[in-house]
Each structure stands twice: as C-alpha cells, then as structure tokens.
Structure 1
C-alpha cells in the first residue's frame, strides 16, 4: 500500500474553504477525526493514522471527488491494473448467499450459513461500485463496518438490537448500532415479515407485545 506523499495535505486541499464542522456534517465523520486525517496522526496518541475505504467513501461524497481516485491516492488501488476477469461472477454469487459482510481496512469478510471467506480490499478495482452493488443486493449498513443482507434476516430482537438469520433466534446473529436500528426499524420488521412469510400485522403485534412487556415490568412510585 503506497499512499500519496502528503496525503493529509491533499485531503485538506479538497476541503478548501469548507469548515471542519461543515465537512463533518456532510461526511458523517467527526470534525476532530477529519483534522487528524489531514495531519496524518491521532493527536491524542500521536500515532500515524490512515483512513479506511469506508471513510474515504464518505469523504469522496462530501468533497465531490471520484472515489476511485481517492482510493488510488490513498494507496488502496496500487494493483488496480491486475486482471480480475473471473472474480466478478464469483463475488456476485457470494453476495447473494451472504448473511452479512464485515469490512476492515485490509479485507472484507463474507459470512454465510456454511462459514466465512475473505477478500482483499486491495483487489477491488472500484470499491464505490461494490458498495452500490451491496445496496442493489439488499444489504444495509448497520454499523461502521457492518453490512447486513436483509433478504436473510428472520428474527429481529428490538430490545437487544439483534438480527438473527433463523426464525428461532438460536443461530448466527449480529448486533446493530442504535442509530441504525432507529433508522431502519420499520424496514427490519417488513423484511422479517417477508422472509418468514408472516404478515406485517403479526410482526407489529409481536413488537408491541415486547414493548408492553417491558413497560409492565417497570414500577412507579405511588
């Protein structure tokens, strides 16, 4: 991974006259973290930091710059000229059968019912296009580095923020971020109803029962 020399200064130039808080609002990143990226170090620990592909996607959207170019300058696409003729179809099948995907700065881990497999982030010619594919395949971002295939979710435990991939809730599951749970609450209920073949009325009634149960357990002073 060979990053452009002075990459932090390059990010600062992309921000231009935009304030750090405005950049934070547009990207969804904290203004302090954006400044750390521009300085290429964590000001709390003084350690060198590098933005992840997810962070770069947010910055490319905020600064209206090609994501591929930004990934290249960050050093993630140094092997982008290598052929990838056979991997497209393979990745497409994996995405359809995948329950959820974890993304790190170096690899993507596909979790299926049979196990898991990884793909190097460096092997992706256009990570932005890959994210678009995820959306088309029914995936939603449920945490910083977690993408869940809603086509496979069969149980949603609201009080714990858990998504199960079996109706009994005894197998694999993921815990989603509270802000995403609030954002996708209705979508999750509809997805579970569709995937299990049970009507929306049942899902909402069950959800309401769980809520009522929580409130009934509370004791208020007389």
Structure 2
C-alpha cells in the first residue's frame, strides 16, 4: 500500500508550533529524521522515505494523535477493512502490557497471557484504547496500568504493584520518569489510601513522602 499524497505536509501540520527538537525529545526520533519525513525524502540521498509503523506510534504519542488514523494516512491501513470485533481483555485486572509487532502480552497477579492479533487495524485501535483505560506508555514496548501502582521507587525508576515493593514490578524509561514523576506520586497516594507530605529533600526515600490518611471518627 502506498503512502497517501501530502502525508509529509500532514505530519508538519500536526507538529504545528512545536520545534523539531521538541518533537525529537518527545518521540525519541532525531530532529533531522522528523524533518525528512515531513519532506517525504531523505535529504542525504534524495530518496523517498516512508515511516515505519513503530515510527508512527512514536509520532502519535508525541502529537497526541490517533495511531490508527496515522496508519491509515500513511497507507498501512484501509478504513473499510476495519473488523467489527474488538480485542477483549480484562483491563481492570491487568498490571502491565508488553507490546511487539501484532502481538501483546498482558500481565496480571495470576500470570501472563500472550495474544496474536491478525488485523493490524484492530491492534492499533487496541493501543489507542489503552490510554482511556488508565494505561501509560513507560517504555518503547511497555504500557502500565497506573491504577494498579502501589509503590514508586524514584532513584531506581521502579513501579511496584504491591505496597511493600517485593512483588511484580516494571522499570520505566528515564524520560517517562521525568514526564510522569508528579503524577506517579499522586497515584501511589491515591491507590494506597495515603496522602503526600511534600519534601524538598531529594535524597530521602520516596516512602517517607507518604503517610496514612486519617479516618473520620
């Protein structure tokens, strides 16, 4: 399938007033490559280029734009080929999801389950749905259910799904830790029924920032 005419201009319009370097920071792509995609050619070789599905996922995250629609506009998907069914998984029980090409593995307290998805459009719509279910992308292939986080160890970038920090956990990318640091503190407090005592001592342990909520008498 061919990339739709004017796709590069469309990418440029999504960027809007953001600088190339800002998008590069958000997406993990180089600013030179992002500009090449907007021009639809490699400026070093003058050859036409087309972004891969993985590149489009990074751009969809950076621009907060539908991955499915980007895939359609890039020529990977046809709107009329969309299946009527949905991927049915127990979102409320899932701790985190690891994603690869057309396959994902979701982890619960009981174990893990891998699912192969034959339809690329169904898969991309599933990824679009994760944010609505409370999942955030914490690495290139890792989506974490923030409603299940019980402990956050800042200096190690670890997220635990139990309050003692001895069970299942994931390690997030440094850039994501910087982006979601404050949100993670609030969510851990909410998920564990504690309140945050703000501290400016960065060397102290994260658990010292939390104290139990007082119950009404």
Q: Shorter chain as normaliser: what TM range?
A: 0.5 to 0.7
Q: Is the Cα–Cα contact under 8 Å of residues 7 and 74 in structure 2 kept in the other structure?
A: no
Aligned length: 195
Aligned partner (choices 112, 115, 132) of residue 118 of structure 1: 115
**1:131-170 correspondence runs (5 A):** 131=128, 133-170=129-166
Of Structure 1 and Structure 2, which has the larger fraction of its residues in strand?
A: 2
Computed over aligned residues only, the root mean square deviation of the Cα atoms, in angstroms, reads 4.2
Distance 1:147 1:184 in 2: 13
Partner of 1:219: none
Distance 1:128 1:83, change over 3 A: closer
Q: Describe the SS at the equivalent of 1:168.
A: coil
Q: Is the Cα–Cα contact under 8 Å of residues 185 and 196 in structure 2 kept in the other structure?
A: no
Q: CA deviation at 1:128?
A: 5.6
Distance 1:54 1:81 in 2: 20
Q: CA deviation at 1:36?
A: 5.3
Q: Is the Cα–Cα contact under 8 Å of residues 57 and 67 in structure 2 kept in the other structure?
A: no
Q: CA deviation at 1:9?
A: 7.2
Deviations 1:114-135 (A, max 9, x none): 213234373434836752x322
Distance 1:204 1:120, change over 3 A: farther
Q: Is the Cα–Cα contact under 8 Å of residues 140 and 150 in structure 1 kept in the other structure?
A: yes
Partner of 2:170: 174
Q: Describe the SS at the equivalent of 1:167.
A: coil
TM-score, length-scaled by structure 1: 0.64
Of Structure 1 and Structure 2, which has the larger fraction of its residues in helix?
A: 1
